[in-house]
Homo-oligomer: A and B are copies of this chain.
Amino acid sequence: MGIITISREFGSGGRELGIKLAEKLGYKFYDKELIALVSKEGGKTENYIENVLSKINDYAYTPRNSFTFYTKEQKNLTDELIMERKVIGEIAKKGNCVIVGRGADIILKDQNTIDIFVYSNMQSKIKRCKEYAKDEDKLNEKELEHKIKTVDKARQKLYVMLGQDCWGKKENYDICINTTNLNISKLANGLAELIKSI
């Protein structure tokens, strides 16, 4: 039984790698599906959860201690994270899966997961974002670079919220892969072999 978590820089191809790796290994894949599960659990819409997660950025560094009153929005965020933790725990119990994002590596820290971090240089990330973007979402290179940095900052802050400021630090992962100039499908094949070997 194997649980693989993938954390990734925005535009590095980490999600695509996760999907193909799961296919290759015959594992289940969770990402948006995970949100759908969280959403179902809380009886809220998927859009609402997405919206809440995007606000983690502001939330993570709000000064607070045990005497601080949470705003209603902050209270909701905490509830979502508790729920997400629960759902990820349930997914892990089912076994063989690839979970992309959502701090699953931290949430499942005590389990024997294989934790992967996917990154690449900025030029390569911008190129991938351009390729993936729908026509209505086209941004210029400067806007894309800003978006990449903003999304990654939010991801890092999710880890701070989860109590571990270790997003992107190699010591936190078993394998770190630089996807600059790499073909993700080929990489997924090789990575599946590496994972089977260890």
Chain A residues at the B interface, C-beta cutoff of 8 Å: 117, 119, 121, 168, 170-171, 173-178, 180, 182-183, 186-187, 189-191, 193-198
The listed residue (B168, B180, B197) touching A187 by CB distance below 8 A is B197
- B178, A187: Cβ atoms under 8 Å? no
- A121, B171: Cβ atoms under 8 Å? yes
Known: A175-B177, A176-B175. A182 touches B198 (CB 8 A): yes
- B178, A173: Cβ atoms under 8 Å? yes
Known: A170-B178, A174-B178, A178-B173. A190 touches B186 (CB 8 A): no
Most B-side CB within 10 Å, residue of A170, A182, A191, A196: A170
9 cross-chain pairs, A with B, having the tightest CB-CB distances, nearest first: A190-B197, A193-B193, A190-B194, A176-B176, A194-B194, A170-B170, A174-B178, A170-B176, A186-B197
Q: How far is the CA of A197 from the CA of B187 in the complex (A)?
A: 6
Q: How far is the CA of A176 from the CA of B117 in the complex (A)?
A: 9
Q: How far is the CA of A119 from the CA of B183 in the complex (A)?
A: 25
- A178, B178: Cβ atoms under 8 Å? no
Q: Which B residues touch A191, using CB under 8 A?
A: 194, 197
Q: Which B residues touch A190, using CB under 8 A?
A: 193-198
